[in-house]
Structure 1
Amino acid sequence: MTLQNRRVLLVIGGGIAAYKVLELIRRLRDEGARVRCVMTAAAAEFVTPLSVATLSADRVFTNLFDRNDEHDVGHIRLSREADLIVVAPATADLMAKAATGAANDLARAVLLASNKPVLMAPAMNPLMWSAAPTRRNHATLLADGVQFVGPKSGAMAEAGEAGEGRMAEPAEILAAIVEQLAPARPLSGKTFIVTSGPTHEPIDPVRYIANRSSGKQGHAIAAALAKLGAEVRLISGPVSITDPAGVTTTHVETARQMLAAVESALPADGAVFVAAVADWRVDSVAVDKIKKQPGTGTVPSLSMVENPDILATIGHHAQRPKLVVGFAAETRDVVANGEAKLRRKGADLIVANDVSAGGGAMGGDRNKVTLLSAAGAEAWPELDKLEVAERLAMVIAARLNGEPPR
């Protein structure tokens, strides 16, 4: 367990995202951490102290003037006994008071009295996050050495509201905690190439051939490898998500551009090909928009040619990385087709997943994969894509460091 006996003091702020903290506590304890929790009065409006106490297997601290705790200056003791203080959700109010040094309740007193690192996971309405006072408070806290994870972009609890302000998911917060407390970096000194997203193959100036890939899985894998110490070059097709932190990203559109970018990044220790590359393109892109001819019944004919197979090209390349990992997006016979791809394309590992309609893998946040290698097939349970990325990164690190293959 990566956090065995490490002590985390979790300060729970008052926001709807507080419900996610219950999952974070479970994950922390699964990793061996000892978790103590401080709740603000507002936090207790969203999750109960009983739930928090049950999951943390410890009492919950709520009152700065508790006669049972403060006889020995309990807020000082809480702040000093922890290895790391995590604030989640870090509301706009909590950030503001922390930035100004206010200490009018237990949560703020703990933060002000601490000599331990602090990690905050902001959560608030997008307009609150982008407001000038919040930006000033964020900058102040950064200058004071506070670390942040998130916020993320997405839909808000308020109907019709969306933007940057969602609290990072428990898996992301856990990864940030692990990076703070157990910075095992088994891929330090290693270089990786990762491809992600779709490719767009133009038909004319306004139309193209593409697929539903969001890039979420590829970007998550690039970030997971970087957190293990790797130097990562991400080659991304057109996506709407942000570039992962700590990764050098090159943006391309077509399969041929992606292959050129991959080859220019060689040599590398490893390569993970997650991108859903279009198999075909038109052999001649129209200079002008192809116009309909109403009433004639005429439908334009597209002559197609095959795109380069990036995985196979690198799998048999003169500068082939030591470890080559591919993805097999299948709608039937997932394992059989993945095993055939493993043999045919010169990969060491294939991550096979079902992308049939209704499965939610394409564009969704979760994935159910089977890891294929010469040693056999290992089916993983359905996981958040971030969790898939973390597990795969650890498998990759183990193989590159000479541990028994999986």
Structure 2
Amino acid sequence: MADFDATLQGKRILLIIAGGIAAYKSLDLIRRLKERGATVRVVMTKGATEFITPLAAGALAGGTVYTDLFDRESEQDVGHIRLAREADLIVVAPATADLMAKMAGGHADDLASAVLLATKLPVLVAPAMNPAMWAHPATQRNIATLLADGIRLAGPERGEMAESGEAGTGRMSEPLAIVAAVEALLSGDNGADASAKPLLGKHVLVTAGPTHEPIDPVRYIANRSSGKQGFAIAAAAAAAGARVTLVAGPVGMADPEGVSVRRVETARDMLAAVEIALPADIAIFAAAVADWRPAHEAVSKLKKDGSGIVPPLHVTENPDILATIAHRRDGRPGLVVGFAAETDDVLENATKKLSRKGADIIVANDVSPANNVMGGAANTVHLVTAEGIESWPQLPKDEVARRLVHWIAGRVPTKA
């Protein structure tokens, strides 16, 4: 036997195989787990048996393969409750969109879903499905729910689908990658855990806060952005394993741990800092950049002269940072995310902004004073893409950030 890490020696793995062409990879996964010293029990859904046989899986695992919730013999001997408890870890590979929907909704109408609902064990899920199914808002909502419930993810990967020839995100991770995620999870090394660190190895660029556009040495044009949402996104991206550069306007917030922060004042400063920070895999433009700046900054404080005549304030348009980066021919980030802070016709304006700015995703919210978003602790966002609109309930800004980062992680292109 090869000289493997001892992490899996003596560990008990319950492998749940769902239906899908990727089920054939699970046979190799069984072999890889066993050669590292793990004991593998197998549960197969009815759909899985259409692609591989219980006989093949059982021969590799060296034991009974369980398929039926109402099998009298297995329920008397083992039972789904014992299956849900007598292991160190449950791995679902492949995990279909249907099975993940059942997990998210708490369904238990077959053996696999009943085991997953009854377990208190750590669960590692390796999704596999058509790219359109993976990108569908319903699947992404289910993924967000599973992540919030503590389920860990390995993959999916970007590539060509075996059954359709389509390319996109949805391929099940290779068996050795899943084994690495299992080892990391069982060893407690969250730094290497593919599910806890879905952005490992990625560079994420985030902008946050307002900009200040000087009128004179003591006055400026600005807005009420606190920077809380952008800072929360930067922290969540770092927690997801990314190398994060945060370009922050003038806000009184401490630097997020593990994040490289560049402080700026004006829109032009912010654009320059963003361009210096490139290249990036993902760019999230959460800053509320001032649309205009004074055409001329006074060198000394403007004063009232008692005449009642207000000095003229001529403004000029600031650079559009989102559009500038999204329309780059060279060095455009693989995924560009913009924010749309609106007070009227939120979804209509956000949809127009998606096309006009060239972004891949627009995160829209209603910043009317009654909603207390700017400076507040909560946010209600709508994710606008070319595929449609996904609306989330009101959530704390930290939770919005965490869900958004994991949602984005499922969409970032993989470099060839």
The two structures have a TM-score, normalised by structure 2, of 0.55
Structure 2 counterpart of 1:304: 315
Letter in 2 for 1:198: P
Structure 2 counterpart of 1:281: 293
Structure 2 counterpart of 1:209: 221
Q: Distance in 1 between matches of 2:381 and 2:368?
A: 13
- My pick for the range that moved more, 339-348 or 182-191, is 182-191
Please tell me whether residue 364 in structure 1 is matched to residue 376 in structure 2. Answer: yes
The alignment yields a C-alpha RMSD, in angstroms, of 3.0
Pick closer, same or farther for the CA change 1:397–1:32 going to 2, 3 Å.
closer
Structure 1 counterpart of 2:279: 267
**Which runs of 5 or more residues in structure 1 are unaligned?**
8-26, 34-83, 85-115, 118-176
1:58-207 pair list within 5 angstroms: 184-207=196-219
* Cα distance per residue 1:86-135 (max 9 Å; x no partner): xxxxxxxxxxxxxxxxxxxxxxxxxxxxxx99xxxxxxxxxxxxxxxxxx
* Cα distance per residue 1:231-262 (max 9 Å; x no partner): 11000000011111010000000000000000
Q: Distance in 1 between matches of 2:148 and 2:290?
A: 43
8 Å CA contact 1:366, 1:385 repeated in 2: yes
Structure 1 counterpart of 2:238: 226
Q: Secondary structure at the match of 2:232?
A: helix
8 Å CA contact 1:255, 1:307 repeated in 2: yes
Letter in 2 for 1:205: P
8 Å CA contact 1:194, 1:274 repeated in 2: yes
1:233-244 pair list within 5 angstroms: 233-244=245-256
Letter in 1 for 2:395: L
Q: Distance in 1 between matches of 2:284 and 2:192?
A: 26
**What is the CA distance between 1:188 and its match in structure 2?**
1.0
Structure 2 counterpart of 1:143: none
Q: Distance in 1 between matches of 2:347 and 2:229?
A: 19
* Cα distance per residue 1:273-332 (max 9 Å; x no partner): 0000000000100000000112x1111110100000000000101211010000000001
8 Å CA contact 1:179, 1:227 repeated in 2: no
Letter in 2 for 1:286: A
Q: Secondary structure at the match of 2:224?
A: coil
**What is the CA distance between 1:178 and its match in structure 2?**
7.9
* Cα distance per residue 1:16-40 (max 9 Å; x no partner): xxxxxxxxxxx9994379xxxxxxx
Pick closer, same or farther for the CA change 1:386–1:6 going to 2, 3 Å.
farther
Q: Distance in 1 between matches of 2:121 and 2:200?
A: 23
Q: Secondary structure at the match of 2:371?
A: coil
Q: Distance in 1 between matches of 2:246 and 2:147?
A: 30
Pick closer, same or farther for the CA change 1:273–1:364 going to 2, 3 Å.
same
Q: Distance in 1 between matches of 2:235 and 2:328?
A: 25
8 Å CA contact 1:6, 1:181 repeated in 2: no
Structure 2 counterpart of 1:329: 341
8 Å CA contact 2:210, 2:249 repeated in 1: yes
Structure 2 counterpart of 1:91: none
Letter in 2 for 1:316: H
Structure 2 counterpart of 1:246: 258
Sequence identity of aligned pairs in percent?
A: 60
Pick closer, same or farther for the CA change 1:355–1:5 going to 2, 3 Å.
same
Q: Distance in 1 between matches of 2:120 and 2:354?
A: 41
8 Å CA contact 1:190, 1:230 repeated in 2: yes
Q: Determine which of 150, 159, 164 is the counterpart of 1:31.
A: 150
**What is the CA distance between 1:179 and its match in structure 2?**
7.4
Letter in 1 for 2:328: H
Say how many residue pairs are matched: 244
- My pick for the range that moved more, 222-231 or 250-259, is 222-231
Q: Determine which of 316, 337, 340 is the counterpart of 2:327.
A: 316
**What is the CA distance between 1:5 and its match in structure 2?**
3.0
**What is the CA distance between 1:184 and its match in structure 2?**
2.1
Structure 2 counterpart of 1:394: 406
8 Å CA contact 1:191, 1:232 repeated in 2: yes
Structure 1 counterpart of 2:120: 5
**What is the CA distance between 1:267 and its match in structure 2?**
1.0
Q: Secondary structure at the match of 1:233?
A: strand
**What is the CA distance between 1:180 and its match in structure 2?**
10
**Which runs of 5 or more residues in structure 2 are unaligned?**
1-102, 105-115, 123-145, 153-184
Pick closer, same or farther for the CA change 1:359–1:178 going to 2, 3 Å.
farther
**What is the CA distance between 1:195 and its match in structure 2?**
0.2
* Cα distance per residue 1:186-241 (max 9 Å; x no partner): 11111111000000000000000000000000000011111111111000000011
Q: Secondary structure at the match of 1:400?
A: coil
8 Å CA contact 1:5, 1:32 repeated in 2: no
Letter in 2 for 1:207: R
Pick closer, same or farther for the CA change 1:191–1:368 going to 2, 3 Å.
same
8 Å CA contact 2:191, 2:241 repeated in 1: no
Q: Secondary structure at the match of 1:358?
A: helix
Q: Distance in 2 between matches of 1:369 and 1:204?
A: 36
The two structures have a TM-score, normalised by structure 1, of 0.56
Letter in 1 for 2:150: E
Q: Distance in 2 between matches of 1:179 and 1:210?
A: 39
